[in-house]
Amino acid sequence: MRLRVQPTGPLAGAVRVPGDKSVSHRAAILSAIADGRARIEGFLECDDCLRTAEALRQLGVYIEPVASETLEVHGVTLDGLQEPAEPLEMGNSGTGMRLMMGLVAGRPMTVTLTGDESLSKRPMDRIKTPLELMGARVEGQGDRCTPPVTVRGGDLGGIRYETPMASAQVKSAVLLAGLSATGETTVVEPSASRDHTERMLRAMGADIEVDGLAITLRPGRTLQPQSIRVPGDFSSAAFFLVAALLVPGSEVVLQGTLLNPTRTGLLEALGEMGAAIRIGNESEEGGEPVGDVHARTSALSAGEFGGELIPRMIDEIPILAVAATRAEGTTIIRDADELRVKESDRLAATAEVLGAMGAEISEREDGLEITGPTELQGATVDSRGDHRVAMSAAVAALIAEGETVIEGAECIRTSYPQFARHLQELGAEGVEEEE
């Protein structure tokens, strides 16, 4: 699929982005191993999250779609999980694969997990290492343990594991395995990563303690089902947020958006750059802070971003780079080498796409350097099968001169199937999907 985008006039209005992808994955998994029935509203019906739901069905969990973006999950507890007859096909979902590896590692079963061509290139060694320290056997392809991956689980012991880098996926996989281990499991991170797993485990009655950067889980308690309302995905809202800042005369409200502080590093970065952003209507849903994000066109200045801020905006760095093309001065993004092993080499892909559109952008070993402001030009660009690169290119195209054609835009469906329609509803009339 191609996405054709013409430059637009002012964007205006309010939009509620789909449910948060990270929370949707975790809500399905933890509800599946709770003792009883749970209702999940606002579940993100994208390919990644639907793959996780289907994998849980293969493990013997009854999951029923009861309305649009609403699932009813009949939890079977950990002991009720069954060995699947076929491999778990995780599509393009790195989060789904890593969390499911942690879940099945604790059970006395052998499970193979596979993925599409892109996922089959992504390393799983950071999951393999702690799971094997706990007693599981994990076999993948090559030195980096790429999929297909086979996990032989059961008889785990709790460990204290210090992660080499902040990663919510690694932390969550270890905690999920720890639910089945003998003895307590502690994960220590070098800096804070998103904490949805800890919040949800606590809400469902797990014995979990957070002490700074150390999270300790003591197994033994049966999880209790909770009705969960998944808040709007901040990572999806980020595209409209930046579009509002860059398109002249725009003012946009992003309603019911997740505002978990482990996810909102982009708000801090844009604030430092001079963005006119305010938060209203703050509340809490399912233990997560939410609110409405108001953004309007702003004159931006360059900034330098790295360190502990990066894990809190790791998925938003491509769209931050788009903002930096219109900021006065040179923006430096560092400590983001994790982006080399996402759906694409996200640093290289972002530099390639924005460079093709006329941006003054270069790669660093661990980040990007962007000098602005520059006037972007429409171009034909390749998403490299990466949904965040594709959507970032679409936002850049809104302020470029001439038409931009984004090849491989079907990848957007993995996280935000309504993306083009929501752009149109805010006033971007020159957005057209083309099969």
Does the predicted TM-score (pTM) go above 0.75?
A: yes
- Rounded to 10°, the helix 168-178/196-203 angle is 30
Give pLDDT, residue 307. Answer: 94
d(C-alpha 358, C-alpha 189), whole Å:
39
Whether 70 shows a pLDDT value over 80: the answer reads yes
With cut-offs at 50, 70 and 90, classify the pLDDT of residue 236: very high
Q: Rounded to an integer, what distance in angstroms lies between the CA atom of residue 255 and that of residue 377?
A: 31
326-369: pLDDT as tens digits: 999 999 999 999 899 888 899 999 999 999 999 999 999 999 99
pLDDT above 90: percentage of residues in the chain: 94
Whether residue 48 contacts residue 236, with contact meaning beta carbons closer than 8 Å, is answered with: no
Share of the chain above pLDDT 70, in %: 100
Beta strands, E only, 351-411:
360-364, 367-372, 380-382, 404-407
| Catalytic status, residue 315 | yes
Task: Look up tokens 């950071």; give the residue.
Answer: 126
97-134 pLDDT tens trace:
999 999 999 999 999 999 999 999 999 999 999 999 99
Q: Report which residue type is found at 428.
A: A
CA distance 108 to 92: 26
Q: Which residue in the list 48, 116, 315, 335 is annotated as catalytic?
A: 315
Domains and CATH numbers, the chain: 2-19+232-434 (3.65.10.10), 21-229 (3.65.10.10)
- Does residue 414 carry a pLDDT above 90? no
Handedness of CA 57, 415, 204, 157 (dihedral sign): positive
393, pLDDT greater than 90: yes
- Please check the confidence at residue 287 and state whether its pLDDT lies above 80: no
In the predicted structure, residue 286 carries a pLDDT above the cut 90: no
Whether 397 has a pLDDT exceeding 90, the answer reads: yes
User: Which among 282, 288, 291, 335 is positioned nearest to 313, based on CA atoms?
Assistant: 335
